[in-house]
């Protein structure tokens, strides 16, 4: 198509500017049709295409995550769910060391003074599944609803490890892994926050430690046995940006996070935080289409698809052409009813 346009444009120049302008104003000739308007779940739908020699054709099925009407939707309030796994090791079950879960909507910085000044809401009790024994195995938390915080422009989630000085036992060691935070909309779209970039992704990617941007802040006894605890990186810098933070400390790129106060006795009290980078809970993944034809593909005369769920769908095809360096777009929609199979 691009080569064809170039030839026409060259001929156009030979015959004068007016002819060129007329060709530049031509629209892409593109049509889509189906044999009927209703199909059963699992039945093959054949979309007949005219103008299938377009440079690119993108298909949006109308299903969750592939609804063309939502291609520019970047934010929408939904239901926010948080989940993670923790492991509790060493010390006594009866001691008063603890791990707290907190959230803030007004953290201004990641130094200790900013952490103290911020307003933190303790949501530890929203998780009813903390470890109850000392083990290297992990306990999966409850699915924690934090939707009540999504009116804020941003939130930071923190784990706060509190260790008390003892003469007979080392302080508690904690590990955290598989943290997942999502935004689920009414239409079924589910966006995982702290995930790989999801623009143009065909499926949502799960939360990934490497994109979270954790930072360690110590309020007490930042040096324990010669090493910093919660050494994970710094806010806004993740393992995909750099292997080390600005202090030269290696940024962890996989789980688990670990609060390690050391195995010796009589260590000073610890108050250490590991905090996520700021995130807008309203963030959502825009709709993604499937490219069914590109410039080098042969002419497309049809596209076949099967729906897996009953419902009413607005299927959208977008044809794109490069006309003399300018992208022309034609959008065609077809409304389909997908019925449940007969029992």
Do 97 and 225 lie in a common domain? Answer: yes
Q: Which of 239, 254, 275 is the last residue of a domain?
A: 275
Do 218 and 331 lie in a common domain? Answer: no
Cα 185 to Cα 115, 149, 278: the distances in Å are: 31, 15, 21
Do 262 and 114 lie in a common domain? Answer: yes
Cα 62 to Cα 30, 199, 205: the distances in Å are: 19, 17, 19
Do 104 and 53 lie in a common domain? Answer: no
Do 89 and 227 lie in a common domain? Answer: yes
pLDDT in tens, 97-141: 899 999 999 999 988 999 999 999 999 999 999 999 999 999 999
Q: Which of 223, 254, 275 is the last residue of a domain?
A: 275
Note whether residue 218 is domain-resident: yes
Note whether residue 301 is domain-resident: yes
Q: Are 274 and 230 in contact (CB under 8 A)?
A: yes
Note whether residue 283 is domain-resident: no
User: Domain span at residue 294?
Assistant: 2-71+288-339
Nearest residue to 59 (alpha-carbon basis) of 312, 67, 205, 199: 67
Do 60 and 89 lie in a common domain? Answer: no
Q: ∠45-46-51 over CA atoms, to 5°?
A: 140
Note whether residue 316 is domain-resident: yes
Do 108 and 143 lie in a common domain? Answer: yes
Note whether residue 30 is domain-resident: yes
64-86: b (≥16 Cβ within 10 Å) or e? bbbbbebbeeeebebebbbbbbb
Angle between helices 2-15 and 17-24 (to 10 degrees): 150
Tens-binned pLDDT, residue by residue, of the chain (343 aa): 444 444 444 434 344 444 444 444 345 578 999 999 999 999 999 999 998 888 999 999 999 989 999 999 999 999 999 999 999 998 888 777 899 999 999 999 988 999 999 999 999 999 999 999 999 999 999 999 999 999 999 999 999 989 888 778 888 889 998 889 999 999 888 888 887 665 444 455 667 766 777 888 888 876 544 455 676 766 667 666 777 766 676 676 667 888 888 777 877 788 989 998 899 999 998 888 999 999 888 899 999 999 999 999 999 999 998 877 788 889 999 999 999 987 7
Do 156 and 263 lie in a common domain? Answer: yes
Name the domain count of the chain: 2
Note whether residue 108 is domain-resident: yes
Query: What's the pTM value of the predicted model, to 2 decimals?
Result: 0.77
Neighbouring CB atoms inside 10 A of 92's CB total 13
């Amino acid at each position: 198509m691009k080569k064809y346009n170039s030839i026409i444009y060259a001929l156009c120049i030979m015959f004068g500017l007016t002819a060129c302008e007329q060709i530049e104003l031509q629209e892409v000739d593109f049509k889509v049709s189906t044999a009927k308007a209703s199909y059963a779940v699992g039945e093959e739908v054949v979309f007949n295409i005219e103008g299938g020699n377009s440079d690119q054709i993108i298909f949006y099925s109308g299903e969750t995550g592939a609804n063309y009407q939502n291609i520019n939707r970047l934010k929408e309030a939904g239901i926010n769910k948080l989940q993670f796994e923790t492991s509790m090791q060493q010390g006594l079950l009866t001691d008063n060391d603890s791990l707290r879960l907190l959230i803030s909507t007004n953290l201004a910085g990641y130094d200790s003074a900013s952490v103290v000044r911020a307003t933190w809401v303790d949501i530890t009790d929203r998780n009813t599944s903390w470890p109850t024994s000392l083990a290297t195995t992990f306990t999966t938390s409850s699915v924690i609803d934090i939707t009540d915080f999504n009116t804020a422009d941003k939130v930071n989630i923190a784990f706060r490890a509190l260790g008390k000085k003892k003469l007979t036992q080392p302080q508690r060691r904690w590990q955290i892994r598989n943290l997942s935070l999502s935004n689920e909309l009414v239409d079924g779209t589910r966006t995982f926050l702290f995930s790989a970039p999801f623009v143009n992704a065909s499926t949502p990617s799960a939360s990934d430690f490497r994109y979270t941007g954790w930072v360690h802040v110590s309020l007490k006894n930042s040096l324990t046995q010669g090493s910093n605890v919660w050494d994970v990186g710094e806010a806004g810098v993740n393992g995909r940006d750099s292997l080390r933070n600005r202090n030269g400390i290696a940024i962890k790129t996989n789980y688990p996070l670990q609060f390690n106060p050391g195995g010796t006795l009589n260590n000073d009290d610890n108050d250490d935080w590991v905090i996520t980078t700021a995130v807008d809970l309203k963030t959502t993944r825009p709709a993604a289409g499937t490219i069914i034809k590109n410039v080098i593909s042969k002419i497309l005369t049809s596209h076949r698809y099967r729906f897996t769920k009953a419902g009413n769908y607005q299927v959208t095809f977008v044809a794109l052409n490069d006309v003399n360096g300018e992208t022309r777009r034609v959008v065609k929609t077809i409304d389909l009813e997908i019925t449940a199979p007969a029992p």
